[in-house]
Amino acid sequence: QAQLVESGGGLVQPGGSLRLACAASGFSFSRYTMSWYRQAPGKERELVADITSTGSSPNYADSVKGRFTISRDNAKNTVYLQMNSLQPEDTAMYYCKALLFRTYWGQGTQVTVSS
């Protein structure tokens, strides 16, 4: 049974950093494109970053370029999102997604940026 479990969210002050992790199980993680999405209250879910199966050519939303970094460790079946210089507008539920022939979603981890 495929499963994605996010962790690392929390409350952080503006300008702070967090590192999210998404641990995968039950499918061939190394073959899948992995993505991070986020959804703020009252807004649609939006793509934050994605990364190919080999870890090449990461893509970022304009709003996070230069601040967030997506990476993956295929040996650990885990994808990461390093978030620096966090701002209140980054507050959202963050989800990871796996995509190949099927799509899998995690349950999300909450990130709150507030002083």
- If you average pLDDT over residues 1-16, what whole number do you get? 97
Reference 78, options 69, 70, 86; nearest CA is 70
Residue 17 predicted with pLDDT over 90: yes
- Mean pLDDT, the chain, integer: 97
pLDDT, tens digit, 9 for 90 and up, residues 32-53? 999 999 999 999 999 999 999 9
Res. 56 pLDDT band, cuts 50 70 90: confident
Reference 62, options 79, 75, 49; nearest CA is 49
Q: Which residues contact 23 (CB under 8 A, 6 or more apart)?
A: 4, 5, 7, 76, 77, 78
Q: Distance (Å, rounded) from C-alpha 36 to C-alpha 96?
A: 4
SS3 111: strand
Residue 57 predicted with pLDDT over 90: no
% of the chain beyond a pLDDT of 70:
100
